[in-house]
């Protein structure tokens, strides 16, 4: 079975721009979670989607949003980028929300 894939792997943006990151879960997995990883804050939960519905959201501003499609693929969007948004964004999938999560390689976002 193919693992979780994320595209693109690297992104460089400037302040004020917006960005869209994509995640394809493991086939058959319906839950997709997103995390932000930074040296200062560590791994922080952004949101979780299941059957195209956002069921949980972390403590991030409204500039961070996401969606899930009928094939379980998910995207997250960050608008009006700030320097502090520079991070590794990780996507994880699981069959059900409480199961073990399998992570993708991440998207490294650099905001200049």
Could you list the residues that contact other proteins (CB under 8 A)?
A: 4, 6, 31-33, 35, 42-43, 45, 48-50, 55-56, 58, 90, 92, 94, 96-98, 100-106, 108
Name the residue nearer to other proteins (CB basis): 9 or 15.
9
Name the residue nearer to other proteins (CB basis): 6 or 19.
6
Name the residue nearer to other proteins (CB basis): 18 or 27.
27
Place of tokens 């069921």: 55
Kindly report the CA angle at 9 between 5 and 103, in degrees rounded to 5? 40
* Radius of gyration over every alpha carbon of the chain, rounded to an integer in angstroms: 13
Least distance (Å) between residue 110 CB and other proteins: 14
- Per this entry, what is the length of the chain? 112
Say if CB 31 and CB 95 are below 8 A apart: yes
């Amino acid at each position: 079975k193919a693992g979780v894939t994320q595209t693109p792997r690297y992104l460089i943006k400037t302040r004020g721009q917006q960005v869209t990151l994509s995640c394809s879960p493991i086939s058959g997995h319906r839950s997709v979670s997103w995390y932000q990883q930074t040296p200062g804050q560590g791994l922080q939960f952004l949101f979780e989607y299941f059957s195209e519905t956002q069921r949980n959201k972390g403590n991030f501003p409204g500039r961070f949003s996401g969606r899930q499609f009928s094939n379980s693929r998910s995207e997250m969007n960050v608008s009006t980028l700030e320097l502090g948004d520079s991070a590794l964004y990780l996507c994880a999938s699981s069959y059900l929300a409480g199961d073990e999560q399998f992570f993708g390689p991440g998207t490294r976002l650099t905001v200049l």
